[in-house]
A and B are shown apart, each in its own frame.
Chain A
Amino acid sequence: MKKIVAGSLLLCASVAQAEDVYIEGNVESRCMITTDTPGIYGNPTPYELSTDSADGGIVPIVRYDVITGDYYKAVISHPDSFSNSPVLNDITAWTGEVSVSEVSDTAMSDYETNKVEYNNKTEFDLTTAGTTWFSVASSVQYGAQTSFPAGSYVAVVEAECVAL
């Protein structure tokens, strides 16, 4: 009986062989848009909201990652309206600026000088593989220096990555 048990164990042991476990991956051209830093509006005067740090705000940062250069362009829009706010009976005047905040590769240093601006949009050709951080500053004034009604205000930053 003992011999049978020992024999069975020996058989089982021989079944436990080493196996190679493969991990496969595929790197393909792609663009990834990431929210990096939360944006906050400061309220330096009753009639103005601004992301400028001097006004008590925080400028939002959007991060773009591209695997291959010259495959995508970034199109970023600063807000020109509120997506959520109290009822506003007067006009709002928006201004904004999208800038390169940080780059992962020195070859991206010309992104800022080569950017194209129109309306509330700014385009950047992502000519180099790597990561670029863009800051999206904005401010808005209400009416003829009219105080904003109290409440919560939300505006949308649009970040696009378009294949070239």
Chain B
Amino acid sequence: MRCSVILLLLISGSANAHQFTPTYPEIKGSYVANVYKADMKLFNKRKDISYYEIQAFDKDWKPLPIGFNSIIEIDYLETKEVPVYLSKNAAKKVLYICSKSKILKGQVNKTVLSSRICSKIKSNE
């Protein structure tokens, strides 16, 4: 009985990696007026993760709204181009654009490492 409580998985699996580039993206205009974007690239080498959340933050790490879907579905070993759309106001304030692995509810005894990689907008520093 006690054994059932003993073995608790914090992190499982091996060689699970997550990559988000570029380190210093640029904010550019998009095809819609007053909407700006940063072109990011997400690489998923985590077998246990199929979803990542894209987040934007200002210099005080306050979240900023981003356009379209903030949740990205991505297969194992897939690389995806991720355009991050921002309003004019958000584009002026944004300092960090991050991708964070999403752990599905009920994933008991599976990988429970939450990884987040943040790129920095140097021009807004």
On A, residues with C-beta under 8 Å from B are 28-43, 46, 49, 51, 56, 60, 62, 68, 71-72, 79, 83-84, 136, 138, 148, 150-164
| Contact between chains at A161 and B116 (CB < 8 Å) | yes
Q: CB of B18 within 8 A of chain A? A: yes
**Interchain CB contact (< 8 A) of B5 among A148, A156, A163:** A148
Give chain B residues whose Cβ lies under 8 Å from the Cβ of A154.
Answer: 8-10, 108-109, 112
User: Chain B, interface size: which category?
Assistant: 35 or more
**Interchain CB contact (< 8 A) of A35 among B6, B15, B103, B117:** B15
| Contact between chains at A155 and B112 (CB < 8 Å) | yes
CA distance A72 to B106 in the complex (A): 32
Q: CB of B4 within 8 A of chain A? A: yes
10 A–B contacts, CB within 8 A, in A order: A29-B21, A29-B24, A31-B23, A41-B7, A71-B23, A84-B106, A157-B114, A160-B116, A162-B96, A164-B120
| Contact between chains at A152 and B109 (CB < 8 Å) | yes
Give chain B residues whose Cβ lies under 8 Å from the Cβ of A160.
Answer: 115-118
CA distance A68 to B45 in the complex (A): 21
Residues 72 to 118 of chain B near chain A (Cβ within 8 Å) = 96, 103, 106, 108-109, 111-118
Please give the distance in Å from B1's CB to the nearest CB on chain A: 6
CA distance A37 to B113 in the complex (A): 11
Give chain A residues whose Cβ lies under 8 Å from the Cβ of B124.
Answer: none
